[in-house]
Amino acid sequence: MSAIAESLRRNGSRLGAKPVVRSNAVTVAGTFSNQGVLALGAGSVLTTGGFTQAAGAVLRPTVTAAAAGRVAAAGAVQLGGRLDVVAPVAVGGDVSVLTGAVAGTFAAVTGEYAPAYTAAGVTVRRPGGEEPKSAAVAPALAAPALVAPASTSAAVKPAAKAKAKPKKPAKRKSKQAVKRRRR
């Protein structure tokens, strides 16, 4: 069973007909009503006649550079609840996560992506159109800055180093000395 089909089974959504599962694609005749958590892996597609998301429901598409999980509705789309975009690696540009005749917006959005709503669908993009973090040099890998040593004033002298005392080797007692002490 594919991940999307398993998500549909656990979701408790009301299906107008039995879903048709093809690899990472599921087709539902009629309107799909999301009332739980609908997790769509990268490349997964839920094709429906219409899509409705309840107030407490979550749409969780996974977005990668190669593909995104998405809902493709032929008819009306009524949004509510939360959009939670999962992106294992930051992706630049607009990524489509939902197509259809959209009405409404998500009540909350989590993840590093902001939704853009149009009459034909919803796309997500990193705020400000920023490039993925992986494209930039990580601060830990950047060359360290060279800092000139602070100049010392003539009045300040460096502290003298304390000399370490050499350790004396331990004396061994002869067998005769040990015997004398025992007497």
Does residue 113 sit within a domain? yes
Contact (Cβ atoms closer than 8 angstroms) between residue 79 and residue 108: no
Contact (Cβ atoms closer than 8 angstroms) between residue 5 and residue 22: no
Q: Count how many domains the chain has.
A: 1
pLDDT, tens digit, 9 for 90 and up, residues 135-159: 333 333 333 333 344 444 444 455 5
Does residue 43 sit within a domain? yes
Does residue 147 sit within a domain? no
Does residue 181 sit within a domain? no
Does residue 25 sit within a domain? yes
Does residue 142 sit within a domain? no
Instruction: Residue 81: name the closest of 114, 107, 120, 118 by CA.
Output: 107
d(CA 163, CA 130): 58
Output 18 or 114, whichever has higher pLDDT.
Answer: 114
Q: Whole domain around residue 29: which residue ranges?
A: 3-133
Mean pLDDT score, 98-124: 94
Does residue 82 sit within a domain? yes
Mean pLDDT of the chain, nearest integer: 74
Q: What is the pLDDT of residue 127?
A: 80
Mean pLDDT score, 47-53: 94
Does residue 159 sit within a domain? no
Task: Give the least confident one: 6-15, 22-31, 60-69.
Answer: 6-15
